[in-house]
Structure formats: structure tokens, C-alpha cells
Structure 1
Amino acid sequence: MNVWKQISLALALVSLMACANANIGLDSVQGRSPVVQVVRNVSEAVVQIKVESTVTVRQNNPLMNDDFFRYFFPQMPQEQQRPVTSMGSGFIFEFQPDTRDAYIMTNNHVVDSGSNSSNTKITVTLADKKTYQATIVGLDPNTDVAVIKITVDEDERITVAPLGDSGNLEIGDWAIAIGNPFGDVGLARTVTLGVISALGRSNLNFGNNSPIYQDYIQTDAAINPGNSGGPLLNIQGQVIGVNAAITSTSGGSIGIGFAIPINLAKRVVDDLIASGKVSRAYLGISPQEITPDLMEAFSLTEVSGVLIASVEENSPASQAGLEVGDVIIELNGERVPNVAKFRIAVAISRIGDSIPVKIIRNNEERTVSVTLAAFPDEAATAEKPSTPSQREHGITVEPMDGNYARQNNLSGTAGVVVSAVANGSPAAQAGITPGFVILRVGNTPVNSVDEFTEAMRQAIGNLENSRRKTISLLVTDRNKRNFYYTLRFE
């Protein structure tokens, strides 16, 4: 073999080795995966969250609803205090050196028990094993995003996880999950690697924790209980999602995990930090999925878009000229192939934004400009202060045909739906949460906001003339089960 052949073979071998390293993602100098550098840069921003609280649980004894029975057996306990502990993950995404405040993003379902009960303690453990007590900045159950805050010591070194862009993800991209599986301190900041398995997953049922706005990133990077709230990262070490849930037959990871896109989460946390709540824009239509039959009936070319089934009077949609039978195909320049995408597109928009809406009407495409407004219920709440009884018991209710009930897929005509519960209030201490439907106050049926307000006013007034300190509420929970809850007024 001559010298030139030997040189050619050597060059070919070097080329093959370089290609192999590139294909498997190895650092050509260190021979290590780039995941190593991602973990070095970001893992110390990941925290462990422990929530300890006490909730009041009413005994489900129907006899104790009878005044006669209670008179002869007053010693029978109707309520019990039960300790509840939950564990999860989170990550520091913002740090303010002047105040030493570190803001942590996590899931609503990780910390929501901390907002619905008294005597709650939220403990955050950092990478150096140091612990801090956290406070809730804001919660958004509609997206399952929450923000908590800790104030750290002067000598504490804080790592902030950089936020990326979930809008340019593609199926097959690398995905790195970091979290605290099973809440075990010994497993803190466990790293798992996978790919983006799918995008835009929606209509998923996670029980009582199912958020309204779903646009999940699906990944096969192992996500286990306790990982909730931790970051999902790209290969550049940027947060592209907030790990939220898994589909499993065993309780552990089987390669089907879901994360909230960081672009959606960023929209939420901005509002939570600014005001403690999320103010969402409102279009004022009832959207309907396009089926193959509807595609044929409306002479569409594909099963895509959102059919307008109704338009609310005096809504942004009606003022812009949108009509029943219009098919929305784009919102603010983004395709809306289904109702889930439509809801997300509206949810990430701002109140007051004027956005182009492309529709198909009578087989012709046209674009109209819509100026988004606040939900009517939110506007009314902002304009009208709470009544004294609302401030005392801590419950905000809406009618069963209102926006909150529609957004949460609640049906029925009886009762009023709980849309908010004040922290530390008698309702929060009793364990009542948003989404519950109140059927009775004491023995008085309530089927409207006015009826509920009047019934509570009378019930609270009656307490002043008796030795009783409790009011009973007949409530339907999210699982359609009826229970009596007791509000205690000390």
C-alpha cells in the first residue's frame, strides 16, 4: 500500500469518527454528551418543594345534619383536622439581587393545598441543602402554573434557569427533565433524557387537576411523581416546558410525560408576579370542532378550524362582525386547527389587543380585526367590591350558566359554582375549592348569586343570636358527589 493510500485511509477514518461523534451528540474534545454541560449550568436552579398543611374534613354522617340528633349527641365530632403533605419540584427563573427574592415556577397542583387551608408551610430546599420558607405569589389552576417566592441569605449563590422558546420545537428534538422523583431528598435533581414525542396534546384528563388550557409537550424523558413543576430543557440548556403530568398504568414513568410549554407559562407568570392573578382576554363566541361532516357541509377543504356556534351580545366578536357559521382558521397570524389551539391563542393574548382573525364565510376567506376585552365576570368583579358576607366567608360564586362554569365544563341548573376562595377564610379552612357547586346554605336551596348572597347574609346574621358558630353548606364536588361542609366562624 503506497503512502497516498495510507493518508487517504487515515483521513477517511478521522472523518468517520467525527461524523459518529456528531451523530450521537458527543463533545469531540471531551468525549462527553452536551447534556453534561446543560446539567452543570441548570441543575442548581432546580428546587424541591414540600407543602405541609392542615385541612378541616367534615364527617359524612347524615344524622348530624338533624338539629334534634345534634341536641342529644353534641359530643360526636363532625369535623376533623387532617395533616396533608405534598412534594414536588420547581425551578428558579428570576432573581432580584436588591431584595434577595428568588421567584420559583412550579405547578399549581403542587402548592394549591397551601392556598386552601390554614397553618400551611411551604419549604423549599435548594441544591446546597439549605431550606427556606416560601410564600405563594400567585396560582393559575386553568393552566396548572404557579409562582412562589423565597428570600435568601446574602451569602446564598443563586442559579437562574434561562427560559427558552417552545414555539420552535420539533418532534424528535432532545428533551432533558430534571426533578425530584417521589419526593425523595436522596433522589434530588435526577436527570433523565428523551425526545419531544409530540406537540399540542390536549383534551387530557388528569382528574381534579385537569387544567382548561392544554397544549402539552409530550416527551419520553422519564417523569415520575415528585417531578411535577421541574423544568424540561432543550439541548441548549433552556427551559422549554414545566413538567406537569404522566400517563401511567403503574404510577411511575412508562415514557409518556407531559410538560406545559414555556411560552404559555411565561404569559401566566408575568401576570402572577404583577398582580397575583391572571387576567385573560375574551372574544365572546362558543367554539365548535370541525368534523368530517361539518367540513362537507361548509364546503371546507380540510378538517381544521373552529366553527362559531354562537356569538354573545356586545362581545368583542359581535362588535367585530363575526357571525354564527363563520369558521376561524387563523388568530393573530397563527393557525387554529381545533378548539384547544383556539383557546390557547386567546389565552396568551392581552386584554385590549387588536388582533387579526381570519375566517371562512360563504366559501370565501376574509380577515377582521377584533379588540379583545376582559371577561364580563372579571370586569364586574373589579367594578363592584365584595359584600361584607363575601369577605367574611371567603367564597365568590357565579351562576351555573356563567363563564367560569363554561370554561370548567360544569353543567346543570341547580346551585351556584364557586369561582374563588379567599386564603385563610372559613371556606378555605373547610376545604372548599373553586369548581365546587353549592346547592344549599343550611336548609335553603340557592340557584342564583343573589339567592346565595341573601342566604349567607341571613345565616351569618343568625349566628349572632345563637351559640352556634357554624353554617353548613351542601356541596357537589368535581366528582359529582354531594357532601356537607361546615364553615366555622370564631
Structure 2
Amino acid sequence: MNAPLIKQLLLISTLSVCLSIPSIVQSAGMPPYIDGQPLPSLAPMLEHATPAVVNISTSTNIQVSENPLMQDPFFRQFFNVPNQSRQQQNNSLGSGVIIDSNQGLVLTNNHVIDKADKIRVTLHDGRQLTAKLIGTDPEADIAIIQIPANNLTQLPIANSSELKVGDFVVAIGNPFGLGQTVTSGIVSALGRSGLGIEGYEDFIQTDASINPGNSGGALVNLRGELIGMNTAILAPTGGNVGIGFAIPTNMIIPIKDLLVKHGEVKRGLLGVTTQDLTPDLVNAFNLENKHGAAVSRIESDSPAAKAGLEPGDIIVFANGKAVKNSQDIRNIVGLLQIGDKVDIEYFRGNDKKSVVATIGKQEQPRLAGEKLHPLLKGTILGATQKDQIEGILFEKIHTSTYAWRLGLRPGDVIVSANRYRVHNLEELKKVVDPGVPLLINIQRGQEGFFVVLR
């Protein structure tokens, strides 16, 4: 028998064997079963979870001055510079999670929809809808929007306090209009704070890739339950390095409920300033307990002062939750409203005590959105400034605030309010009269002017 004929017979024989065993020809790669057992796959879970993750696109119309002198209110006033401006549109893309299919509620990050004039949501099935803004909490970077649609899929919500380091998680996003993207990893750390990303931080850290455009997307467990909202990455090189952060559901849900009910979060005041316990502080206070938040300051006439707290007290529990550091007490109090009670357990020396404080009202309603801090005498604002001043510095002013629209800018210093000299925030609060316009005297470099905040 010649060689070509032998090859043909071998080929026919091989095909006959393959056709008689269907499981071999089902896949060119790894078979779906090994030893009769199905291979593990995330696909069944994702079939139910991904329709709940949506794409969010926004557009914002802004007025851009064609004359750079228009940005300075003094040039506008004294030199009568004409107002020549043009409209420019900014667009952004992110993700969101449907958390209530009946009401059409979608969870996302505040920074995804911040200052947007129009918000559009693209669903898994391709439907495009105009969303309504329900409420935002910029300090926690949480926003709720609403879409008018039926046949929606929502994600079930899990208790994020049950998470453990090492649990498997999946990050789902819908960035750039590309459709769903899915990455998997584990929980790398819990309770991450002090990163300076948000005002209130209690992040889940994960090595599941959270890429640009995935902000507002879902972090789910292997049951397809929402455990967090993808929010930020640590990217020193500009790309993903396996350090992503998600806001846990136990922080999201109380804020979501407040946003749906009131449209905003009105945080109350406890009146304490705390700091983390360091080994040096533990030794200096001669403490047996090494975890907690050390009270460094009590505001006069505050709920904390009325409850009897003092500087040097070490808070270890608040409303039954363990306080490991100063960020913990900030987060716990940040979820409370005016009039809520907070049970505080603390050490004074090595004596354990407990008090109940009633959360009070925060002042400075007209200065919401501005970051202020005292400017001590001797501080130089800039290289060209000759005079040393003392007052309250506008370190940061959001462009959406009333103060910005009045012409106030970062670097401005409040030197008096309602004709009273003010040196710090305590003095400013004393002269603020709710419901009455606030007259403030501003110093900007070598110039001074008055502004009325209503």
C-alpha cells in the first residue's frame, strides 16, 4: 500500500472517531466538563447582573469669556470691559447601577454628573433615556438619578460589612458607550480612608481593574449582589496598577435614602475634632487601649460639649460601631441628621464611660461649597504681598456656588463680617444671623472690597 493511500485512510479513521464522540468536537479549547464536572464560570451570574449596569453620558453648557480681563471683577467694574463670551459644551461619560427597577432609580458618582445640564442613560438593550437628577452628595461622591422606563433589571444589594479581605469580586462598568466591561479580582483591603479622594471615605480596595469610564459602575460578589460602587483608582503611572476603590453599600444606602427623600444630605454637627492614635499618643496618655479616635478639640456650646466630652477622651464606639481612627467617627457622624442621637463610648484615662449626644445644626449655610481655614498672622499669601494679614482664607471655592458667581476666588481672605473683625471660624459663626444678609470684607492681595452674601 502506497504512502498517500495510507494517509487518506488514517484521516478517514480519525474523522470517524471524532464524529462518534460529540464532547470532543464541542470546543476547540478547554471542554466544558472535566471528569463529568462543569468548569466554574462567571457567565451565569453576569447574565443577570450586567443588564443592571448602564452607561451615563452628560453635557454641560458653559460660558467662556473671550476676554481674559473679564475673569477679574475689578477690571469689569473699573475699566468697563465688554462682556464678550461664547458657549462651550463639555461632555463626560461614566457608568451607573439600577438599584430600584420600579422607580427607575440609578446610582452613580457625583463626579460623573456634576454640573451637567443634560444626563442621558443608555441601557443594556440599547434604549437611550433622558434622566432626572434626584439628588447628590458631593462629599461622599454619590448621586441618584431617575429614568422613565419599564422592564428594568436591578441589582440586589448585599451587606458590605460581611466582606472579608480575599473575597472574590467582579467590577462591572459601561464606559465610553462600548457596552459592558467586566474584570475580576479580590478584596485587597477594607475601610480605606485618609486618601483625600472624598470628604467621607470608607473604601473597599480591590485589584479588579477599575478603568476610566467605570466610575459609578458596580462592584459585585460572586452571587451578583451589589457590594460597592466603583469610584477611583490609584494610578501613579496614569494606568491601572491594581489599586481600585469602591464606596461600600453600607455607606451608599443611608445616603441614597436621604437623597430620595430630601434631594440632599444635611449633615449635622457633633462638635469634636479628633485625631488618630499613634504609638506616641498611646504612651503619652498611658492607654491600655490602642484603637480609637483621640478628641483634640471640643467646640464651645456644641452637642459634644453639652454631653460632657473633653479633649483627651478616646472614642472607641459610636452607635455600636467600633471606632478605629478619626475617619471612622467622621463617617459615623456624617450619616446622621440633625436631631439624631449618637451613643458614644470612650475612655478617659483608663476609665470607660458612655454618653448620648444629640446631633446639632451646622452653621455657615451661605458658605456651603467653600473650603475655609484660619489664616494666622504672619502668613504670606504670595511672593508679591508685602502686608501680613490675619483672617479666614478661602482655600477652595466651587465654581457652581453663589460665592463664585459674586466674584470671590481662592486666596481671598475674610477680614470682617457684619462689620465685626473676625480671625477664625468661631468668630465668624458668632456674627452669622440666619435669614439675614451677611456683609463680608474681603482682602485680595493689596485690594479690599465688600461682598453681601444672601
The two structures have a TM-score, normalised by structure 1, of 0.69
Contact 1:304–1:338 (CA under 8 A) maintained in structure 2: yes
Name the structure 2 match of 1:134.
131
Instruction: Give the alignment partner of residue 45 of structure 2, picking from 28, 35, 38.
Output: 38
Name the structure 1 match of 2:5.
none
Name the structure 1 match of 2:382.
none
Equivalent pairs, count: 388
* Aligned counterparts of 1:151 and 1:427: Cα–Cα separation in 2: 35
Q: CA deviation at 1:250?
A: 3.7
1:110-149 alignment to 2 at 5 Å? 110-114=112-116, 120-149=117-146
Instruction: Give the alignment partner of residue 276 of structure 1, picking from 238, 258, 263.
Output: 263
CA RMSD of aligned residues (A): 4.0
Q: CA deviation at 1:417?
A: 8.0
Max Rg structure:
2
Gaps of 5+ in 2: 1-32, 375-389, 423-427, 446-454
Contact 1:283–1:316 (CA under 8 A) maintained in structure 2: yes
1:286-305 alignment to 2 at 5 Å? 286-305=273-292
* Aligned counterparts of 1:265 and 1:436: Cα–Cα separation in 2: 31
Name the structure 1 match of 2:92.
86
Q: CA deviation at 1:262?
A: 0.8
Call closer, same or farther: CA 1:475–1:267 in 2, change over 3 Å: farther
Query: Is the counterpart of residue 49 in structure 1 residue 27 in structure 2?
Result: no
Instruction: Give the alignment partner of residue 153 of structure 2, picking from 145, 153, 159.
Output: 159
Call closer, same or farther: CA 1:332–1:34 in 2, change over 3 Å: farther
Name the structure 1 match of 2:110.
108
Call closer, same or farther: CA 1:27–1:255 in 2, change over 3 Å: farther
Call closer, same or farther: CA 1:76–1:158 in 2, change over 3 Å: closer
1:57-96 alignment to 2 at 5 Å? 57-58=64-65, 60-61=68-69, 65-66=74-75, 70-71=79-80, 74=81, 77=84, 79-96=85-102
Q: Does the residue aligned with 2:131 lie in a helix, a strand or coil?
A: strand
Contact 1:268–1:278 (CA under 8 A) maintained in structure 2: yes
Name the structure 2 match of 1:117.
none
Query: Is the counterpart of residue 194 in structure 1 residue 185 in structure 2?
Result: yes
1:426-441 alignment to 2 at 5 Å? none
User: Partner amino acid for 2:75?
Assistant: D
Contact 1:418–1:438 (CA under 8 A) maintained in structure 2: no
Q: CA deviation at 1:474?
A: 9.6
Q: CA deviation at 1:454?
A: 5.8
Q: CA deviation at 1:300?
A: 1.4
Call closer, same or farther: CA 1:279–1:450 in 2, change over 3 Å: closer
Query: Percent of aligned pairs with the same residue?
Result: 34
* Aligned counterparts of 1:432 and 1:64: Cα–Cα separation in 2: 6
The two structures have a TM-score, normalised by structure 2, of 0.74
Gaps of 5+ in 1: 1-25, 115-119, 382-389, 403-411, 457-472, 477-490
Name the structure 2 match of 1:168.
162
* Aligned counterparts of 1:178 and 1:431: Cα–Cα separation in 2: 42
Of structures 1 and 2, the one with the larger relative CO (CA 8 A, separation 6+) is 1
Q: Does the residue aligned with 1:40 lie in a helix, a strand or coil?
A: helix
* Aligned counterparts of 2:98 and 2:63: Cα–Cα separation in 1: 32
Query: Is the counterpart of residue 323 in structure 1 residue 314 in structure 2?
Result: no
Call closer, same or farther: CA 1:415–1:298 in 2, change over 3 Å: closer
Q: CA deviation at 1:322?
A: 1.3
Contact 2:397–2:403 (CA under 8 A) maintained in structure 1: no
Q: Does the residue aligned with 1:225 lie in a helix, a strand or coil?
A: coil
User: Partner amino acid for 1:138?
Assistant: G
* Aligned counterparts of 1:136 and 1:165: Cα–Cα separation in 2: 26
Contact 1:91–1:104 (CA under 8 A) maintained in structure 2: yes
Deviations 1:314-348 (CA, angstroms, capped at 9, x unpaired):
32222222112111111122221111111112223
Query: Is the counterpart of residue 371 in structure 1 residue 357 in structure 2?
Result: yes
User: Partner amino acid for 1:132?
Assistant: L
1:203-218 alignment to 2 at 5 Å? 203-205=194-196, 210-218=197-205
Q: Does the residue aligned with 1:127 lie in a helix, a strand or coil?
A: coil
Contact 2:169–2:187 (CA under 8 A) maintained in structure 1: yes
Q: Does the residue aligned with 2:114 lie in a helix, a strand or coil?
A: helix
Contact 1:396–1:420 (CA under 8 A) maintained in structure 2: no
Contact 2:291–2:323 (CA under 8 A) maintained in structure 1: yes
Call closer, same or farther: CA 1:450–1:348 in 2, change over 3 Å: closer
* Aligned counterparts of 1:266 and 1:198: Cα–Cα separation in 2: 21
User: Partner amino acid for 1:203?
Assistant: G
* Aligned counterparts of 2:77 and 2:274: Cα–Cα separation in 1: 51
Deviations 1:46-93 (CA, angstroms, capped at 9, x unpaired):
11000101112445438884369845xx5573x443211011000110
User: Partner amino acid for 1:95?
Assistant: S
Q: CA deviation at 1:371?
A: 3.1
Report the structure, 1 or 2, having the larger helix content. 1
Query: Is the counterpart of residue 413 in structure 1 residue 391 in structure 2?
Result: yes
Q: CA deviation at 1:30?
A: 7.0
* Aligned counterparts of 2:180 and 2:113: Cα–Cα separation in 1: 19
Contact 1:352–1:371 (CA under 8 A) maintained in structure 2: no
